Amino acid sequence: MKVVTWVLRILSTITFAYMCYLVYNIMDVNGVWGWSAPYDFVVTVFRLLSFIFFLISTMIIYGFAFILLGPTPATNLVVWLYNTVVLRMWYMQPYGVSEPVTNINEMFANLNANLLNIIGILQDNTFLFLYFLCAGIGVALFLQTLVRMEHKYVGGAFISIQAILIIAAFRHLTLPNYETYPTNFITFLTGSLQILALVSFAYLEISYQMIYSYSVGKPVEDREETLKKQLLALRQATRKQDAIERGEKIRTTAMGRSTGATAFSFLREAIERKIVGSQEGLENLDAIADVRRLQIYIDELLTSDPNARDELTAKASAPSGSYIIGSTILGSAIRFILVVTVSFLLMSPQVLLAPFNLPPGILNSVELNQPEIVLLFLVPILLLFPFAALLISWFSKRDVEEETRISKEAEAERKRRKKEEERKKKEAERARRARKKRKKSEEEKDEWDRVLEEMYKQ
């Protein structure tokens, strides 16, 4: 299984790398990969923030200074503060200022005149930065996929890389596209955008197959590993306890303790209760006995039943590697062919509308050449698949209710017992009610005192 997973891991890496390469090439044509883009973006944002900070500070200082000193000294103070604090200590200047400030009003006027320009620069830099960000996230998630083998990372990596193209489309950059949607399948397949589309889809398919191959064999391997750890931890715990009982000194290693603790909840609980591995633990005979008895039980089980170990590890349930290879190749090929063919049909209304002999006004309309026309057949036909699945599952009687297999005699016995119990309860309740009635009619007095008095009277 490991070999199959590794092969698929390599294939997944290749397809991902190729997908990234294609996207890089597409975006490179538009000249977006200026490597200074992230730095420019950060600097732009920082300068903008500097400006906002400066603006707010100026307003506050102006306000206070005006109240305390009058209008002229306030301007001088702000200029002095700006030149000292911002220029010397921060080394960043707000937009519209390139030299030490002599006049605040001039600075604001300058900034006001260039505001739209500044926002434009910020927008450009933001988009450039977004391409890098998406690429970075995509690569990071892909690397996570290889290590953690989880679907969410595959999906994340795919969406991140495709997001670059979505953002580019939003910015009206040049992207692979059909001039008019092809009505010929071969033209459809050989279009410039098909390579990227197929590689992207292949990346998803191969990555999902890789995770399947990993997850179908992994539980059995994990199970075996866990069992080994559990048995080892159990034996260590028993030996340790024996040594304590004999009065020998034992060496407790952090490693040993953590292995035991993580091995299984049973021993973990004993360790948490400070039962195993301590002198005080000896006093808690039950917990010590539990660990020992488990050890004895396991020893007996493993010696008396030769299949016990295999059953505990579920070794026999491990799937064969050859089947996984065969079914992966066959399954992926079928899916690929089906997806491409069905997609082509769904996206080509002309092909599907041909038998209807529609008027040329409709067949040659602009609407039929727009991407939105895809929805005409896509939605109803896509919904047909789940509907077909629903019908199949309904016919195959998947949700057969499990009937509890109870014999007629047992059922009759159960009913009789229930009836008897109900009768007894009713009788008891009647007697109780009668007693209560009697009690109510008598004077209000503590029940216990009354009963005792009655008792002593006799």
Q: Which of residues 180-239 bind another protein (CB under 8 A)?
A: 181, 193-194, 196-197, 200-201, 204-205, 208-209, 211-212, 215-217, 219-220, 223, 226-227, 230-231, 234
Write down the residue that tokens 């059995």 correspond to.
220
* 320-379: contacts with another protein (CB under 8 A): 323, 327-328, 331, 334-335, 338-340, 342-343, 346-347, 370-372, 374, 378
How far is Cα 19 from Cα 81, in angstroms, rounded to an integer? Answer: 53
How far is Cα 89 from Cα 87, in angstroms, rounded to an integer? Answer: 6
Name the CA radius of gyration of the chain, rounded: 39
Q: What is the 3-class SS of 287-320, one letter each residue? A: HHHHHHHHHHHHHHHHHHCCCHHHHHHCHHHCCC
The sign of the dihedral angle between the CA atoms of 105, 107, 111, 113 is positive
* Binding mask of the shown chain, residues 250 to 279, with x at each position contacting another protein by CB under 8 A: --------------xxx--x----------
CB of 249 to another protein, least distance (A): 25
Closer Cβ to another protein, 280 or 447, answer by number: 447
Dihedral angle computed from the Cα positions of residues 298, 304, 305 and 309, in that order, rounded to the nearest 10 degrees: 30
CB of 429 to another protein, least distance (A): 8
How far is Cα 271 from Cα 257, in angstroms, rounded to an integer? Answer: 8
In contact, 17 and 157? CB cutoff 8 Å? no
In contact, 104 and 75? CB cutoff 8 Å? yes
Closer Cβ to another protein, 110 or 284, answer by number: 284
Closer Cβ to another protein, 29 or 339, answer by number: 339
Closer Cβ to another protein, 75 or 218, answer by number: 218
Closer Cβ to another protein, 122 or 378, answer by number: 378
Whole-angstrom CA distances from 148 to 19, 141, 142, 154, 225 are: 21, 10, 10, 10, 18
CB atoms within 10 A of CB 200: 20
Instruction: Determine if 430 is a binding residue for another protein (CB under 8 A).
Output: no
CB of 279 to another protein, least distance (A): 19
Q: Which of 72, 396, 407, 441 binds another protein (CB under 8 A)?
A: 396
* Binding mask of the shown chain, residues 134 to 173, with x at each position contacting another protein by CB under 8 A: -----------------xx--x--xx--x--xx--xx-x-
* 40-79: contacts with another protein (CB under 8 A): none
CB of 135 to another protein, least distance (A): 17
How far is Cα 119 from Cα 197, in angstroms, rounded to an integer? Answer: 35
CB of 454 to another protein, least distance (A): 8
